[in-house]
Amino acid sequence: MKRTKVLIIDDEVFFRAGVCRILAQQPDLRVMECGPDDYPLEVIDASLPDIVLLGSNLATHSGLELGRKIAQHYPNTRVIMLSPDPDDTELFDVIKTAAVACLRKNVTAEELVTTIRRTTRGEYPINDAVLNSPRLARQVLEQFQDTPVTGNGTPDVIAPLTQREIQILSYIADGNTNRKIADSIGISEQTIKSHVSAILRKLNANHRAHAVALAIRNNWISRKGETRATHRVGFG
């Protein structure tokens, strides 16, 4: 069985040891650790972990800046930020680093392991935070709408969206939860989650609000979430 490699980077030695002890009990995880002064980028370069658990409040380094560098130089390594008490402002800053999740440092062992496994499956647990905070969702959406588009104005789409994915994206733009979308369309919530993950992957989007902003900015859906007919034809 291929094990997921997890690297924990934090100032607190005892915290790192505790996390390592918890994760070492999971047969599908292989855990490593280092301090922020132990040249973490070099450690990542040598070990190429699948996931980095990164403390946001590093004493001698900016955890956010380090997370941004990891995302830039090691795109296959996903960052989960660990914060003592993240609020909407910090969550917004974490989102801009391209981290896939942000957890409290006192998170339960079960939630930590679950988040790691969700991340391994290609999910973006940070979407949950965006979904649960209308203020944060608006802030993120405005951020990406204001971001200039390069080239011909089309995002770097990896693969075309299906009709169903466009439909789901329009529901997301209206602020619907996965449960509400599932009830409206008549399919399972887990299937909706799978579609959302596919949408994010295809659009190179970090989270739901980013995907919606791309769709609105490129006139695929309206600001009220209505699907544009021209895009339906173009993307099949």
Higher pLDDT, 115 or 156: 115
- Confidence (pLDDT) at 4: 93
Higher pLDDT, 17 or 125: 17
Residue 235 has pLDDT above 60, yes or no: no
> And the tokens for 162?
């299906």
Residue 96 has pLDDT above 80, yes or no: no
Query: Please, what CATH class does the domain formed by 140-235 belong to?
Result: mainly alpha
- Confidence (pLDDT) at 123: 82
- Confidence (pLDDT) at 230: 37
**Average pLDDT in the 26-52 region?**
91
CATH 3.40.50.2300 positions along the chain are 4-122
Cα–Cα distance between 30 and 187 in angstroms, integer? 36
Q: Are 3 and 49 in contact (CB under 8 A)?
A: no
**Average pLDDT in the 81-105 region?**
82
3-state secondary structure the chain: CCCEEEEEECCCHHHHHHHHHHHCCCCCEEEEEECCCCCHHHHHHHHCCCEEEEECCCCCCCHHHHHHHHHHHCCCCEEEEEECCCCHHHHHHHHHCCCCEEEECCCCHHHHHHHHHHHHCCCCCHHHHHHHCHHHHHHHHHHHHCCCCCCCCCCCCCCCCCHHHHHHHHHHHCCCCHHHHHHHHCCCHHHHHHHHHHHHHHHCCCCHHHHHHHHHHCCCECCCCCECHHHHHHHC
CATH 1.10.10.10 positions along the chain are 140-235
For residue 111, the one-letter residue type is E
pLDDT band at 228 (very low <50, low <70, confident <90, very high): very low
- Confidence (pLDDT) at 108: 94
**Average pLDDT in the 13-17 region?**
92
Residue 3 has pLDDT above 80, yes or no: yes
User: In sequence order, which residues have a C-beta less than 8 Å from that of residue 114 and are 6 or more positions away?
Assistant: none
**Average pLDDT in the 28-51 region?**
91
- Confidence (pLDDT) at 95: 77
Q: Enter the CATH code of domain 4-122.
A: 3.40.50.2300
Cα–Cα distance between 9 and 32 in angstroms, integer? 9
**Average pLDDT in the 187-198 region?**
84
Higher pLDDT, 6 or 98: 6
pLDDT band at 234 (very low <50, low <70, confident <90, very high): very low
Average pLDDT, the chain: 79
Higher pLDDT, 116 or 61: 116
> And the tokens for 145?
């709408």
Residue 8 has pLDDT above 80, yes or no: yes
Cα–Cα distance between 131 and 175 in angstroms, integer? 8
- Confidence (pLDDT) at 229: 40
